[in-house]
Chain A
Amino acid sequence: MMSVETEIRFKLNGREVALMVPVTMNTLSMLRDKLGMTGTKYACGEGECGACTIRIDGKTVNSCLMYAVDCDGRELVTIEGLRTPEGLHPVQQAFVDHGAVQCGFCMPGMIMQADYLVENNPNLTREEAQRGLEGNLCRCTGYTKVLDAVEAVVEAKKCCGRC
């Protein structure tokens, strides 16, 4: 179905973006097919798996369920925006260090959600991390090491208080 297009402007990983999008396009398709940002993954397409998790105005959402038009005037962060000038983001590094990555397809979403959880709760427990990651599925079933990684990030933040 052809649908009417509209112009939207928003901040993507800190940079201003303006583009025309079909009004029924979802944010995931916009990122991948219009902007070439393929770090955010398509898996279930219906909000069950979390592979497409991004941040919008600081909150994590499933980009497959979010209408691209609704990005207008807002701030988007994708996995590409997590990397720091020094290299990997501490959450990414912890996932590497703990061998939390198997096939890796769920990782961008998993890391986006883990970062959100750690940022919003400095005392995040393993149980809370588990609940917070309920919307992220890993078909390799590698959840234990993911939780180890998240726990390590929480501990590291407690010790230096800066990262």
Chain B
Amino acid sequence: MNEIEQYLAPRRLDEALQAMANGDATVLCGGTDLAPQTESGARQYTAKLLNIRRIDGLGGIAAETDQVRIGAVTTISEIRCHPALAEIAPVLVEAAEHFASEQIRNAASLGGNLCNASPAGDMIPPLLVLGASVELACWRGGAVQTRLIPLERFFVSPGKTVKLPEELLTAVVFDRPAADFVGKFRKSGPRPALEISTVSLALGARIADGLLSNVRVAMGSVAPTPLRARHVEAALEGKPLDAASIAAAVAATAEDAKPIDDVRASAWYRSHLVRVFLEEVLNDVRGN
């Protein structure tokens, strides 16, 4: 069993990254995933416990410019209650609205939800349809180095990402959606609150003169990682939103969603839900 040798709660990013340089730090932010996972033994601590919540500049939402930037330690409640985000990225706010419970939203961070890399992570499908990237920082060559990874390429498998042990996720960025962008989010579970999504789905697209473009569809809990549904997207790109294109898109879900049977639902039911959700969101957009 691993023992923690050191607890750190730095104020500066460079201090945190230096402490992580050996790849032996367990990152703590809201603790809402780390606490139950370490308690159950699903996850082991490493030599250092690094609390990143006090680092200057790692929180906050900047939504005034052409690029929206959400700091890693921003809580889900802060996203849910942000007036500018509600205006420009309602699909993300909608997902925050249905995230766990108020007490968990008040503690859980956006960065944590992404790094936990659950196939059911609720912030992921909306960020995928917004075309978001994650900023990863590390201490290398005596300086802070950062790289930007499209969120779509961030996830490897359940609980695994491309982030190196010495790297810290510092922010999520995405281009301000165009004025004609529409976004929708659906999730399902036996009850509305505190539910690990049985299936989640997000749609993002531009719609002009009745035609869809830049279509992005993302799904959660239908594969080892949240994914972009490329076949569904292709069925909708450049098309009018009519019965024929909706039917084609719904049929294409079988190509993208490869769910499994598990304790929360059968593969058959998940495949069915994906079809229903896609049809619903497309009809929603069509109705408006």
- Seen from chain A, the residues whose Cβ lies within 8 Å of a Cβ on chain B are 1-4, 6, 23-24, 26, 45-48, 50, 53, 59-62, 64-67, 69-70, 72, 113, 116-117, 131-132, 134-136
Contact = CB atoms under 8 A, between A and B. Distances in A.
17 contacts: A1-B1, A3-B45, A24-B4, A24-B38, A45-B36, A45-B39, A47-B194, A50-B101, A50-B103, A59-B107, A62-B103, A62-B104, A65-B30, A65-B35, A67-B51, A70-B31, A113-B102
A69 B103 contact: no
Contacts of B32: 47, 62, 65
Interface of B: 1, 3-7, 9, 28, 30-32, 35-36, 38-39, 45, 49, 51, 53, 77, 100-104, 106-107, 192-194
Given A46-B36, A135-B102, A66 B4 contact: no
Most buried by A among B103, B104, B106: B103
A116 B106 CA distance: 12
B75 to A, nearest CB: 8
B103 A61 contact: yes
Query: Does more than half of chain B's interface fall in helix, strand or loop, or is it mixed?
Result: loop
Given A24-B49, A61-B107, A136-B101, 17 more contacts: A4-B4, A26-B31, A26-B35, A47-B100, A47-B104, A50-B103, A62-B32, A65-B30, A65-B31, A65-B35, A66-B107, A70-B51, A116-B102, A132-B102, A134-B194, A135-B100, A135-B194
Query: Does more than half of chain A's interface fall in helix, strand or loop, or is it mixed?
Result: loop
B247 to A, nearest CB: 35
B53 A69 contact: no
A66 B33 CA distance: 10
Contacts of A50: 101, 103
Given A47-B103, A53-B103, A67 B35 contact: yes
Nearest to B195: A134
Given A62-B107, A70-B28, A134-B102, A2 B194 contact: no
A60 B53 CA distance: 17
Given A24-B38, A45-B39, A135-B100, A69 B9 contact: yes
